[in-house]
Amino acid sequence: LRCLAAGALRDDVALLLHQDRREHALLAYAQRVERLPADEQLALAHFICNLFENTSSSEWLLYISEWEADGQTLSNIRVTTKVCVHCVLSEAGELRDAGTALLYNVATKEVKTVVFDEVSVELCMAALQLLAWAPGEAALWRALAA
């Protein structure tokens, strides 16, 4: 996951992502974020955060086309949102920091209104719950800016 996070900073990472269009292995794995060990959750959050470095990879994260995994109907934006909310509401400080960075990336990305409408309530509720915990200044700024 750390190698993927480093590779996500390259502008040609979209070529790798598009190889996963049929199986959706990367996002099917991310969908199980709450069942992963803490270090894998953090590495996954860094990977997804880094995908926002480039337009093509961030658009890949925000696709709304639906697909099936483990009997569930999912989309890239739903999985991205799930990882974001899970991390924002984590008790682990490092994971919460990564979650607020991801929240900021998702919320400030220019996307079609329909895409953001699908997940905006969930993201806002996570930000409000985070505020109740009185997070550190950096996490607070990212959550409020988002």
pLDDT digits 0-9 by tens, 114-140: 556 778 888 888 888 888 887 788 888
pLDDT score of 121: 85
pLDDT digits 0-9 by tens, 65-106: 899 998 999 999 999 999 999 999 999 989 999 999 999 998
pLDDT score of 140: 81
The answer to whether the beta carbons of residues 123 and 146 sit under 8 Å apart is: yes
φ and ψ of 9, to 5 deg: -80, -10
- Per cent of the chain over pLDDT 70 is 95
Going from the C-alpha of 34 to that of each of 21, 44, 136, 143, the distances in angstroms are: 23, 11, 23, 21
pLDDT score of 145: 83
Per-residue pLDDT at 108 exceeds 80: yes
Could you tell me the pTM of the whole model?
A: 0.89
pLDDT score of 114: 57
